[in-house]
Amino acid sequence: MSVRLPDGHRVYAVGDIHGCDHLLERLMGLIAEDLAASPAEHVTELFVGDYVDRGRDSYAVIEFLRGPATPGRERVCLLGNHEVAMLDALRDGSLMARWLVFGAEATLRAYGIEARQYAHNPVALQPMLQAVLPEEHRAFLEQRPVTHRIGDVLFVHAGIRPGVPLEAQERHDLIWIREEFLNYTGPLPVHVVHGHTPVDAPDHRPWRTNIDTGAVYGGALTAAVLENGSVRFLSVPAD
């Protein structure tokens, strides 16, 4: 499947960040160096979701992503399943325990809340987070698109359900799907760039490219660079 974009267009697609603000800062530096060495007419910074949980500073990650794009670049931030779990817990305290299983303790700490003290009563964390979460952060999370298409490439957090037309894909699949998508050998109607499932190194295949290289697990934070039908990678190893 072609990974062709419109002429003059370059995309830097960044994998799952999970609160690793220090790696994000370094990766953005690599992207700036790459552009300085080889400018492009139209540049998109695209993030495939999972900005929060597990890592050291989800607050800083969201604060950066919701800010203005680097001059001369478009910025697109997609929705990941960890953002969904966070928003669900904000709306319904009974879902706070589920979010904690996903690594919310680190996110809550970044907002000044020590969740461990409420292990016996996680519902109590809901009003606490509602009180300290900046409205700008909540609005940013709530307004994230689920997919973004450029040319023959579809960017999404988790993947798509094979055999289902793109216009009929369910939101839950786009954010949560794993085996049914990962085990499919093609064909697909587009080339899918995604994260969601950690791999040791970028996994580029004819029909899809996985850029979740496990930054928060000691792997690396990776950006796929797509341009002129080709894909290459920039990576920052975890400390």
Please answer whether residues 88 and 95 qualify as being in contact, where contact means their C-beta atoms are separated by less than 8 angstroms: yes
Number of domains in the chain: 1
CATH (domain of 162): 3.60.21.10
For helices 21-37 and 58-65, give the axis angle rounded to 10 degrees.
40
Q: Which domain holds residue 173?
A: 1-35+145-239
Above pLDDT 90, what percent of the chain? Answer: 97
Please answer whether residues 176 and 158 qualify as being in contact, where contact means their C-beta atoms are separated by less than 8 angstroms: yes
Q: Flag whether 196 is in a domain.
A: yes
Q: Flag whether 159 is in a domain.
A: yes
Q: Flag whether 110 is in a domain.
A: no
Q: Flag whether 164 is in a domain.
A: yes
CA–CA distances in Å: residue 114 to residues 17, 62, 125, 177? 22, 19, 9, 31
Please answer whether residues 8 and 224 qualify as being in contact, where contact means their C-beta atoms are separated by less than 8 angstroms: no
Average pLDDT score over residue span 33-56: 98
Residue holding tokens 């530096």? 29
Q: Give the pLDDT of residue 238.
A: 97
Q: List pLDDT tens digits, range 119-151.
A: 999 999 999 999 999 999 999 999 999 999 999
Q: Give the pLDDT of residue 3.
A: 86
What's the longest Cα–Cα distance across the chain?
56
CB atoms within 10 A of CB 41: 10
Q: Flag whether 126 is in a domain.
A: no
- At residue 1 the predicted structure's pLDDT band, cuts being 50, 70 and 90, is low
Q: List pLDDT tens digits, range 152-196.
A: 999 999 999 999 999 999 999 999 999 999 999 999 999 999 999
- At residue 239 the predicted structure's pLDDT band, cuts being 50, 70 and 90, is confident
* Residue 2, pLDDT above cutoff 80: no
Q: Give the pLDDT of residue 198.
A: 99
Mean pLDDT of all residues belonging to the chain: 97
Q: Flag whether 124 is in a domain.
A: no
